[in-house]
Amino acid sequence: MITRKAYAKINLGLDVTGKREDGYHIVRMIMQNVDIYDTLTFEKNDSGMIKLTANKDTIPTDEHNLIYKVCDLLMKKYDIKDGVDVHLEKRIPVAAGMAGGSTDGAAAFYGMKELFDLPITKEEMCELAVKLGADIPYCIMGGTMLSEGIGEVLTALSDMPDCYILVGKPAIDVSTGWVYTELDSKEIESHPDIDGMCDAIKACDLKGICDRLSNVLEPVTKGKYEVIGKIEALMEDNGAIRSIMTGSGPTVFGIYDDEDKLKASYEAVKESGLCPELFMSKPVNPKD
Ligand code: ATP
């Protein structure tokens, strides 16, 4: 049996610089893995089928799941006659801006490669993956990355400096499609300083990173759901250097230079009842 951890991501920066004719948005994003992860297990079976199970019944286990799509694609590409049993232990908040589905899809590439000894490189995985989801190539590479194009142009950055990260998801569901449609209907007022963020990461400058946290999708989601601003204020009032929304939201994270401040903030947010899903976390840079 093969076991893989699939790590969630946060966005230290998220800019949208244009839109392609096929509808994909052109982005410049700084992606960072955090140590909140799903666990996937893979085992061969002799049915020739993909059998996917999950610990939460709200998660699709059919061809709509990215794990299923990746297994199916690889079984066809490599003419695999055996079947595979995959179990997903989901911990990453769903539809939260943390690339939960994409990271599971990335883990499925690695799990299938190991289980069936497939001669596939990371670069080949990324080429296949971008057709299934724009964030999957990043999830295959992982760590601290600048992601450009529609998500397929990746540049590795140095590791983020040590820090503590509080991640909280309020009890609302936000449609990524709605957020981008709203964004398209407005002029973007201010663009994140993505180049400055890359420099701050290179310089291991945590304060510089926090000063540049910025996400063009935040005004859209935060404008509709005031709980996002409330969580950010609570984190900052309790010791976060800065707090901001990740992806299209609604998940918010705060960055701390001190574990006691992280714990104080955790207690304050927990006490408020604003985030049913709340994690004390750290940046991770998984190697394969
Ligand atoms: P992103 O940050 O890439 O926008 P997200 O965190 O907003 O991702 P996901 O957790 O990936 O969103 O879930 C979005 C939808 O994708 C779910 O509602 C679900 O129907 C579908 N989905 C497909 N595969 C998975 C998976 N492995 N885990 C969870 N949801 C999945």
Q: What is the DSSP string of 212-242?
A: H-EETTHHHHHHH-THHHHHHHHHHHTT-SE
Q: For the residues of 245-270, what is the DSSP string, one character each?
A: E-TTSS-EEEEES-HHHHHHHHHHHH
Q: 99: Cβ below 6 Å to ligand 1? A: yes
**pLDDT at position 187:** 87
Q: Rounded to whole angstroms, how far apart are CA atoms 260 and 202?
A: 26
Cα(241) to ligand 1 centroid in Å equals 29
User: Which residue, by CA, sits nearest to atom 30 of ligand 1?
Assistant: 101
Cα(205) to ligand 1 centroid in Å equals 32
**pLDDT at position 120:** 97
**pLDDT at position 287:** 74
**pLDDT at position 9:** 98
**pLDDT at position 288:** 62
Residue 199 phi, psi dihedral angles, 5° rounding:
-65, -45
User: Which residue, by CA, sits nearest to atom 5 of ligand 1?
Assistant: 95
Q: Write out the two tokens for 207.
A: 């304060």
**pLDDT at position 267:** 97
Q: 104: Cβ below 6 Å to ligand 1? A: yes
Q: 6: Cβ below 6 Å to ligand 1? A: no
**pLDDT at position 186:** 87
Q: 251: Cβ below 6 Å to ligand 1? A: no
Mutate to test the pocket of ligand 1, among 94, 135, 138, 180 (most ligand atoms within 8 A of CB): 94
Q: Rounded to whole angstroms, how far apart are CA atoms 59 and 95?
A: 10
- Establish whether the linkage from the previous residue to 250 is cis, with ω within 30° of 0: yes
Written as tens digits, the pLDDT of the chain (288 aa) is 999 999 999 999 999 999 999 989 999 999 999 999 999 999 999 999 999 999 999 999 999 999 999 999 999 999 999 999 999 999 999 999 999 999 999 999 999 999 999 999 999 999 999 999 999 999 999 999 999 999 999 999 999 999 999 999 999 999 999 999 999 998 888 899 999 999 999 999 999 999 999 999 999 999 999 999 999 999 999 999 999 999 999 999 999 999 999 999 999 999 999 999 999 999 999 876
**pLDDT at position 179:** 95
**pLDDT at position 121:** 96
| 235-251 core/surface letters (b: 16 or more CB in 10 A; e: else) | beebbbbbbbbbbbbbb
